[in-house]
Amino acid sequence: MYATVGHDDTGSIVVYGPHDTPAIAPNDGAVTVAICPAGAADGTTGTLAEV
């Protein structure tokens, strides 16, 4: 899963998604990031599970 992170006209951060495939963001400073699957990270510490 992927999400696109960018900003709106007020400068606030906005997140669009989830997407099944990486989205190509327009050249406006937005980035596409991978989202960890459920259970891959500890919700209290953010530590990723061992592969």
Domain assignments of the chain as residue spans, ordered by start: 1-51
Number of helices (H) and strands (E) in the chain: give both, helices first: 0, 3
**Model's pTM, two decimal places?**
0.56
Euclidean distance between CA atoms 5 and 28, whole angstroms: 11
Euclidean distance between CA atoms 28 and 26, whole angstroms: 6
Q: What is the pLDDT of residues 12-21, one digit of tens each?
A: 999 888 888 8
Q: What is the pLDDT of residues 1-51, one digit of tens each?
A: 788 888 888 989 998 888 888 777 666 778 888 887 767 777 677 677 765
**4 contacts 16 by C-beta, under 8 angstroms:** yes
Beta strands 31-34 and 2-7, pairing class:
antiparallel
Tokens, residue 47 = 């530590």
